[in-house]
Amino acid sequence: MTSACVVGLGYVGLPLAVALAEAGVDVVGYDVDPLRVAELRSGRSGIEDVPDEAVRGITFTSDPSAASGCTTYVICVPTPLREGMPDLRAVESATRAVATVLSTGDLVVLESTTYPGTTEEVVAPLLGRTDVLLAYSPERIDPGNPTYGIRNTPKVVGGVDAASTKAAVAFYEQVCDTVVQVDGTREAEMAKLLENTFRHVNIALVNEMAVFCRELDIDLWQVIEAARTKPFGFMPFYPGPGVGGHCIPVDPSYLSWRVRKLGFSFRFVELAQEINAQMPSYVVTRLADLLNDAGLALSRSRVLCLGAAYKPDVADVRESPAVEVMRQLRRKGAVVSYADPHVPSLVLDLERLTSVEVAEALPEVDAVVVLTPHAAFDLDLVRRAAPLVLDTRAAVEPGERVFRL
């Protein structure tokens, strides 16, 4: 029987482990966090897209020796930025753990997003052997997406040699309908960075357009809907309070860092980062202007923020622009509350806030800022009952007191 160890059991690793188990693969899930392992062993997935019952029957461990005997090891650990530079400590630690249990002919696959060259220059030396197979396959998990999952999302694969590529393709064909083979690990690594840099740059484009379209009294959302009627050459992107999550704010920086190492500057990425990073401040300024027009000062206003997660219908607050908007509002003196059915509490400037009920909070606030329009929100109630609404996502039906970004 095929056996696999998935290293890292978060938003990427756990869905893969479940998909492999459902395909009949004998799976060991390894994570360095004993609390995470205990949670999974108790039958709680901790991830919205993975039902609790799906994790039962999988072996979870924080002891790498428990994965000894597996034939494939997939590394799905975080790759954040640290002071603007790639932080590969989790990848390095995971690789060292895998190296202790490898046997001749085993396959190691890195899925963590990183800069081109990581698999060959970092992972391979840490494995320290030439009798194993090594490949890179970028994760394409989209939390909260009801349409695309592991099975129907094409999987890109590139190995350090032909044998590694062949083995990785065969491995992923067990759980993916389409496997896309590229010449090597660097092409596979770059493919992921291109995907997310493309999104990052285009989001920045519409965010900047949102700023000056308001000054020109142009409805940008109507413009986008008109433009998307063209059946070729256009893909719609929409403005918002910024970018968040584990990919868009981070991945382009990996590419920009790698390009700078070559002596070049990646001006598109750097400009996009600047524009998107300014959007939370723009939201705060926009709200202050609207309150001022209503005869209120932001510093004395009560503001309800709808949504703390970085995207609708997930609990992930990593790099969330909604959290940054809340932080800046508080620093301007506003009394801030938030509602998010997926994020019951969060720490903001060392203070723990608790999510409120929208219907109960509405009579007590001066303004509502729609930051993450979860499906659970009654936005019609917000439109009818809120004294003033700043809708950063064009999610609320237009009304006399509803203003868009």
Longest C-alpha distance within the chain, in Å? 73
User: What one-letter code names the amino acid at 363?
Assistant: P
Q: What are phi and psi of 196, to 5 degrees?
A: -80, -30
Q: Which residues contact 309 (CB under 8 A, 6 or more apart)?
A: 315, 316, 317, 320, 322, 340, 342, 343, 372, 374
Q: Which one is catalytic: 70, 176, 213, 247?
A: 247
Pairing relationship of beta strands 133-136 and 345-348 according to DSSP bridges: unpaired
Query: Is there a contact between 154 and 182 (Cβ–Cβ < 8 Å)?
Result: no
b or e along 354-373 (b: 16 or more beta carbons within 10 Å of the residue's beta carbon)? ebbebeebbeebbbbbbbbb
Rounded (10°) angle between helices 185-215 and 251-261: 110
CA separation (Å) from 123 to 26, 212, 368, 390?
24, 46, 48, 47
CA separation (Å) from 9 to 26, 33, 89, 98, 106?
16, 9, 16, 15, 21
Q: Is the dihedral of CA 85, 87, 92, 95 positive or negative?
A: negative
Please give the Cα distance from 157 to 176 (Å, whole number): 12
DSSP 65: G
Pairing relationship of beta strands 72-75 and 107-110 according to DSSP bridges: parallel
Q: Is 44 helix (H, G, I), strand (E, B) or coil?
A: coil
Q: Is the dihedral of CA 362, 364, 366, 367 positive or negative?
A: negative
Instruction: Answer yes or no: 213 catalytic.
Output: no
Q: Catalytic residue numbers?
A: 247
